[in-house]
Structure 1
């Protein structure tokens, strides 16, 4: 069961690059059992906000409180694509640190590989995969960790419409069935429209919309 209370609470976040502030006084909250979409045009700060919430960047001002374990899926992983890793190796890394036996870990890995539509490619090297397939392998790795909070930056990038729809349904299932707090930056308005909560970024400010109506997150 996820911990009680908000998964992530961020207040007054400000961040900038080379003296230019890209996020201004942004306050957002991620809840367990909820799928939150971060939307906005290119350069609006979606990726930056995801990284701030995950803790891989430190805000210039403001604070982020996290309650639970976090798994992050980025668009451009730091690990070189030339590493001799297979799909199975990559997804197995998500189980590292979990207190489960080898047999259970193998079951989780197989389940997640199938969930993202990569079954049959378990032994394929990452170098042999398309960009969309590598992204799915990283998503499977994140889900295999069984983290309380899953944050993603464009996990559906490079996927065809059928694969994209499948990933969207998988993320919704993780939130609604498993109670995970899922936060996802996306350009796909069809996905954004199905999210439980939408944080729209524009000119460094954010407005949050939910099923109970819109409210300003920052002004």
Structure 2
């Protein structure tokens, strides 16, 4: 382990971090982003346990002290790298009020946003890596659940609940289980070699809608 790196237990799940900024040395946003992007790439290529701050620094074209001035350790850097991705995904969503869309369209758009790879094509690999790290760094998987998985699934749940209340989908529908099944479809497709998430979301939405809709013409 390199000097300055921390084990995953260095911070509690979902802990907010704020990197120290030396007095008189303003942060360079472009430099920060280069480090964040290098971290995200290393998470995909090496996984959390094997990636090092030295490799990240080299990939970002900075020195290791530059990293240490911004983040106290690997865990804190990874938290910020994940949060960067979560924010970027939310910002990439079309400016649509799902509640104002026709029922079928609202369901389809909410299901599209459940796709782990909606913004980042490597997201399933990254999430699979975190699942593999669970015995060594359970905090990372909990962080992923809290900040990436649950917000997406809650969005779909809310849309389905609203459609249920307005009589557009079956009242006896177990929307929690359905939401889990929709989320799992992307991982199942990945394992089968089908990596076209956009087309998959459309196919899943069309297939599921025929089963759950009260009026399939909407």
TM-score (norm 2): 0.26
Larger radius of gyration: 2
More strand by share: 1
